[in-house]
Structure 1
Amino acid sequence: MSQHALVLQSDFGIDDGAVNAMYGVAYSVDSSIRIFDLTHNIPVFHIWEASYRLLQSVSYWPEGTVFVSVVDPGVGSERKSIAVRTSTNQYIITPDNGTLTHISRQNGIAEARQLDEVQNRLPRSGESHTFHGRDIYAFTGARLAAGGICFEQIGPEISLDSLITLPVMDAYIENEWITGTIDILDIRFGNLWTNISRTLFKTLKIHYGDALEAVIMNNDIEIYRQIIPFVRSFADISVGKPLVYVNSLDNLGIAVNQGSFAEAHHIGTGIKWRISLRKKKSKH
């Protein structure tokens, strides 16, 4: 079997040796394996963000690439470990805790298997129950990427319907308003990334240069209300001004040119954070 890349994601950070130990386990399986980091800065226990970062990355990697995602607040419990093959033939090994929510909905999963934690475990690690990222996930991911095992050897096939998913809300249009969730932040720049697709948005006959009414809610509390222009790029708006744009995933983003929208207005992410937009009404 040919060798494929191994891509790691976790909420471990890089302030201690946890990620380094995962690298060591993988290289012990095969010293020629190619290992890459998606991110290790997922907020601690934040399964939703882990799910979205996989969506942001997985489909851009070649077929056969193996992803290991370890955001695992239930480590040591009865939660399952799983491996899936996506519809575009990448593999993801992760706890069954909702980490596959966005990939399942938007990219598609072709096959899922429950990882046999007895057979697929780092030798002499049987008494360790708190670092499955090293002892099970990195070890199994490296063996799969290096061709030491095939996908079918990871464990028995399980129903796709049995996979745990997080609650989500589809974007929708009602009374000229389009409403969606603020799924994630473009962290370094503080931009808001929504689940409102460009395709759905354009059904409202809105064009670049149009002014939009924007309302952001956290549950039932209004956090922000303003008029914002819809523009093609950040260069189309003055520094310090807000804008609506189409992001790299072909969804709507909200930003401040050379500023942090999220920081300025204390905006968070997830199912409770919702944004509604409509074309500004002209005054007569």
Structure 2
Amino acid sequence: MTANVVLQTDFGISDGAVSAMYGVAISVNPTLRIFDLTHDIPQYNIWEASYRLYQTISYWPEETVFVSVVDPGVGTDRRSIVVKTADNQYVVTPDNGTLTHIKAEIGLLEARIIDETVNRLPNSGESYTFHGRDVYAYTAARLASGVIGFEEIGPEISVDSITQLVKLEPSLEDGTLTGNIDILDVRFGNLWTNIDRRFFNQLDVRHGDSFEVIIQNDIRQVYKNIMTYGRSFADSHLGEPLLFINSLDKIGVAINQGSFANAYHIETGAKWKISIRKIQKIGYN
């Protein structure tokens, strides 16, 4: 089977950083297949890096090796690690919270610290600011190519010791669902929550039902309105808000042909909370 390496960074593609990572990997094995998950993670945004990995990883074959480099702590004593997921894939990344969603939603079986005395690009030992090239791309290519096995990455560490970001779990109390805004559907401005469809169905929902939706940033309310639960965007009028099931089987919030995030200046992460309560059905003329 041809080996796959998938890259994610906050580097952008306006300079040669990503190309250098490609070059290092191909120098290890010219037959590697290298793909880009995204290089448009907002700078230093570990939360978004964590979610984009989770959004993507399940659709790739077993033994795919992912590299995620969103690393504001590069050059510090934060660990460089490789993990094996419950779906038999690998992620090479700094230990800074990037694995939060994968650990919670998929599961991690094993983890190892990268031994840089072995798994580091030759003649790069005096550089401490580009581990994406010198350590992560190099190690990922060696692992994907079979040059090293997982046991040769470096010392084993406990999966429980891996750094995790604060992550709110959905809850249901007195008929109100509470979760958080995990991520944006960036191009269209839809909100993706961490409330999955099965949990939402505990409210005894039907397409066309009406819901009160409240969005808060910590304790400040930024949005409150009534909207309809639709099968698709066509189930609402132009400019109207709606609830829907997104491509990860979780609740999304949208404006028909508009950006919900831009309209109400909504962002993502553990501080951004959403509450959903079923109310008497309303209709629009």
Distance 2:281 2:143 in 1: 59
Partners of 2:210 and 2:281 within 8 A in 1: no
Q: CA deviation at 1:281?
A: 3.9
Distance 2:230 2:280 in 1: 18
Q: Which residue of 1 aligns with 2:241?
A: 242
Q: For 1:192-226, what per-residue CA distance to the aligned partner results, in whole angstroms no more than 9, with x for missing partners?
A: 00001111110111211001101010111110011
Q: Is residue 147 of structure 2 the alignment partner of residue 138 of structure 1?
A: no
Q: Is residue 211 of structure 2 the alignment partner of residue 206 of structure 1?
A: no
Q: Is residue 96 of structure 2 the alignment partner of residue 81 of structure 1?
A: no
Distance 1:86 1:172 in 2: 26
Q: For 1:129-149, what per-residue CA distance to the aligned partner results, in whole angstroms no more than 9, with x for missing partners?
A: 000000000001011111111
Q: Residues 50-69 of structure 1 correspond to what in structure 2 (within 5 A)?
A: 50-69=49-68
Q: Residues 14-29 of structure 1 correspond to what in structure 2 (within 5 A)?
A: 14-29=13-28
Partners of 2:209 and 2:281 within 8 A in 1: no
Gaps (5+ residues) in structure 1?
none
Q: Which residue of 2 aligns with 1:266?
A: 265
Distance 2:52 2:172 in 1: 26
Q: CA deviation at 1:282?
A: 6.7
Q: CA deviation at 1:268?
A: 0.5
Q: Which residue of 2 aligns with 1:124?
A: 123
Distance 2:281 2:37 in 1: 45
SS at match of 1:60: coil
Q: Is residue 101 of structure 2 the alignment partner of residue 102 of structure 1?
A: yes
SS at match of 2:194: strand
SS at match of 2:270: strand
Q: Which residue of 2 aligns with 1:176?
A: 175
The AA in structure 2 aligned to 1:72 is D
Partners of 2:51 and 2:101 within 8 A in 1: yes
Distance 1:201 1:118 in 2: 50
Q: Which residue of 1 aligns with 2:218?
A: 219
Partners of 2:44 and 2:70 within 8 A in 1: yes
Distance 2:272 2:146 in 1: 42
Q: Is residue 229 of structure 2 the alignment partner of residue 230 of structure 1?
A: yes
Computed over aligned residues only, the root mean square deviation of the Cα atoms, in angstroms, reads: 1.1
SS at match of 1:37: strand
Q: Which residue of 2 aligns with 1:42?
A: 41
Distance 1:116 1:152 in 2: 11
Distance 1:231 1:282, change over 3 A: closer
**TM-score of the superposed pair, with normalisation by structure 1:** 0.97
SS at match of 1:270: coil
Q: CA deviation at 1:3?
A: 4.1
Deviates more, 1:15-24 or 1:2-11: 2-11
Gaps (5+ residues) in structure 2?
none
The AA in structure 1 aligned to 2:33 is R
Q: For 1:49-79, what per-residue CA distance to the aligned partner results, in whole angstroms no more than 9, with x for missing partners?
A: 0000010011110001000000001100001
Partners of 1:125 and 1:135 within 8 A in 2: yes
Partners of 2:192 and 2:253 within 8 A in 1: yes
The AA in structure 2 aligned to 1:178 is L
